Structure 1
Amino acid sequence: MWIGLLWIFGCYGISIALLHIWFGFKNNKQRSAAQVLLITRNNQSQIEWYIRSMFFFSRIRGRELQVTILDEGSTDETMRIIERLSHTYCMDIKWCLPDKSLDDFLEAHGDEAVIVVHLSNRKEIQEIPLFY
C-alpha cells in the first residue's frame, strides 16, 4: 500500500517538475525584459508605492523590468526617493539625461514595446479652507 502511494506522489512530483522546466525554458526564449518609462514631476507622495508595486507584480508574473525615469524638473524629494529605491532593490533604473526627450527615448527603443506612465500630468491640488 505504501509503495503504491509513493509511486503516485513520485510520478506527480516528476510531472510537475517537468512542466515547470518546459514552460520556464519556453518562456525564457519568448520573453525579454519589459521596458517601462516613468515620467515624473513632484510625485514624492506616490512614486515609492508605484515603483514597489511594479516590481512586486513583475516578480509574481516572472517578468523582468527595465525602468527608465524621466524627471521633468521635480523640486521635492521625488528623485531622492527613486535613487534610494534603486539601491534598495538593485533595480535596473536608468536616468534620462535632461537633453533627451520622450521622442528620443521612444526612437531608441523603436523595435521594443515600451510602457509609458506619465505621473506628472495630474493637476496641482489646491488647498481649500475648511472654515471661512
Structure 2
Amino acid sequence: MITLALWIVAGYALAALAVHGLYRRSLNHSAAGERRFVHYVLVTRNHGRQLEWYLRAISWYAKLSSKPHLVTLVDEHSEDDTLAIAERMNRAEGMELQVIRFSGELSREDLAQHSPELEQEGFLFIDLRKPGEAAKIPYVHVV
C-alpha cells in the first residue's frame, strides 16, 4: 500500500516538473524574439462568396495554435460585398483585420515597398486573384 502511494506521489512530482519545464521553455522562446503571431496578407477582388470562409479558417487555425494573428486585406476595387463581409468578420470574430484599398497589379515586392514593417515581421502573402493560392490558408482545400 505504501509503495503504491509513493508511486502516485512520484508521478505527480514528475508531472509538475514537466509542466514547469515546458513553461520555462516557452518563456525562453518568447524572450529570444521568436515571432509569436502569424500575419496573413490576402489580396482580393470580388471574393465576397469565399472571404467569410477564408477568414473563419484563419481564425480557427489561430485559436487552435494559440498564436495571435493579423490579417491584412488588400482589396482591388471589389464590386461585390467583399469589404462589407470583412467589416462584419472583424467585429464578429474579434480578429485584428486591416483593410487596404488598392488599384492595379500588386506583387510581393510592391507590398513590401508599401509597408516595410511587414517584410521585417514576415508574412504569408496570398493573392486570391490567382487560382490555387487559397490552398495556402489552413483548412482550405482548393479543387
TM-score using structure 1 length: 0.76
Which residue among 25, 37, 43 is the counterpart of 2:41?
37
Range moving further from structure 2, 83-92 or 22-31: 22-31
Which protein is bigger by CA-based radius of gyration? 1
Q: Which residue matches 2:136? A: none
Q: Which of residues 27, 30, 33 in structure 2 aligns to 1:28?
A: 30
Corresponding residue pairs, total = 122
Structure 2 counterparts to residues 1-132 of structure 1, below 5 A: 1=1, 2-29=4-31, 30-98=34-102, 103=109, 105-107=111-113, 108=116, 109-122=118-131
Does the 8 Å CA contact 1:106/1:114 hold for their aligned counterparts? no
Higher mean C-alpha deviation, range 68-77 or range 57-66: 57-66
Identity %: 21
Query: How big is the shift at 1:88?
Result: 1.1
Q: Which runs of 4+ in 1 moved over 3 A?
A: 101-105
Q: Is the 8 A contact 1:39 1:118 kept in 2?
A: yes
Note if contact 2:77-2:102 (Cα within 8 Å) is conserved in structure 1: no
Give me the whole-angstrom Cα distance separating, in 1, the residues matched to 2:121 and 2:55.
Answer: 21
RMSD of aligned C-alpha atoms? 2.4
Give TM-score, length-normalised by structure 2: 0.71
